[in-house]
Amino acid sequence: MNSFVRKTRAFTGSFYALMLAYRAEIYLWVLAMVLPFIMMAVWSTAAQGGGLSKDPVGYARYFLAVFIVRNFSVVWMIYDFEWHVVEGRLSIHLLRPASPLWHYVTAHIAEQMARAPFFAVIVILFFCIFPQAIWVPTPFAIVGGVVCIYFAFALRFVLQWCFAMLSFWYERAASIEQLQMLPYYFLGGFVAPLSDFPEPVRKFAELTPFPYVVNFPARILIGEITLQSPEFHRGLLIMAAWFAGLFVLASILWRRGLKHYSGQGA
């Protein structure tokens, strides 16, 4: 069996078993991600008066898509990584002839798998309560949406990886990472769709990585961005550029950080 496939199966399988042991915590976490539903209520009410970029049903669909994207692109590796560095537990991963990323990436995939059934119940429940919001996605919306959600996950992961590397120098890298949460929520399209932003703010936001981790895949899912849209190609290009740049930065920080690592307590 291919070594890559075997590693993926072994790591993901073990972490899936581990995540199932913590399923109650994971379900609570899903419930804690209800911000899009709150924003949905706010914007759908506001849209009843007209004058906004979408009608109430449009906002409902958009924020449901945001909820979906958020559930499959949530990244928490910095908390694990910081703990591993501070406690010296990173040593265990450094002693293996495999990148420590295997551990962190597959743990996220396994956590998504464990969360999926509960998440699906919430989505079904939503459509039962709000049937007007049901839409039939196009094949492109499904395939392109899923691909872009995983691109968004990769971009979020590599962005957090850069912050996580600061653990080698500062014991509380996760606190520093919190600084990017405000632009993430605001420019990412959590609080409002980017289409409702003033033109200069939207133009600026589109140059940052944040819209591509939420707003961009969400709009593909609800069919606002299609394969033919110039936005789609430009979005993918900007995403790839950010990913490449952050990947290089994270790799440099990783190499330098390892020289700084003392493996304390281990």
Partner 1 sequence: MSMIEAHGLAKSFRVSASEPGFINAFKHFFNRKYRHVEAVKPSSFTIQPGEFVGFLGPNGAGKTTTLKMLSGLIHPSAGEVKVAGHVPFRRQHAFLRKITLVMGNKQQLIWDLPPNESYRINAAVYDIPDDELARRVGELSEMLGLDKQLTQPVRKMSLGERMKCELLACLLHRPEVLFLDEPTLGLDINAQVAVRNFLKRYNEKYKATILLTSHYMADITALCPRVILIHQGSLFYDGALAGIVDRFAPYREVKVDLSSDTTREALEPFGQVQSLEGRAATLTVRRDQLRTTVEKMLATLPVADLTITDPPIESIIGELFKQGAVKEPAASGGGK
Binding site for partner 1 (CB under 8 A): 3, 6-7, 9-11, 13-14, 17-18, 21-22, 88-89, 91-92, 94-98, 102, 258-259, 261-263, 265-266
Largest CA distance in the chain: 62
The span from the CA of 140 to the CA of 255, in Å, is: 40
Residue position matching structure tokens 């002693």: 95
Q: Which distant-in-sequence residues (6+ apart) come within 8 Å of 62 by Cβ?
A: 40, 54, 193, 218, 219, 222
Minimum CB distance to partner 1 smaller for 6 or for 233 = 6
Minimum CB distance to partner 1 smaller for 100 or for 137 = 100
Q: Which distant-in-sequence residues (6+ apart) come within 8 Å of 57 by Cβ?
A: 44, 132, 133
What element of type H or E holds 5?
Answer: helix 3-21
* Least spacing, CB of residue 256 vs partner 1, in Å: 11
Among candidate residues 24, 70, 64, the one with its CA nearest the CA of residue 43: 64
Taking the CA atoms of the chain, what radius of gyration do you get in angstroms?
20
Minimum CB distance to partner 1 smaller for 21 or for 120 = 21
* Least spacing, CB of residue 28 vs partner 1, in Å: 18
Minimum CB distance to partner 1 smaller for 22 or for 127 = 22
* Least spacing, CB of residue 144 vs partner 1, in Å: 32
* Least spacing, CB of residue 158 vs partner 1, in Å: 21
Residue 137 region, left (φ>0) first, then alpha (ψ -120 to 50), else beta?
beta
* Least spacing, CB of residue 81 vs partner 1, in Å: 16
Minimum CB distance to partner 1 smaller for 178 or for 262 = 262
* Least spacing, CB of residue 91 vs partner 1, in Å: 5
Minimum CB distance to partner 1 smaller for 77 or for 214 = 77
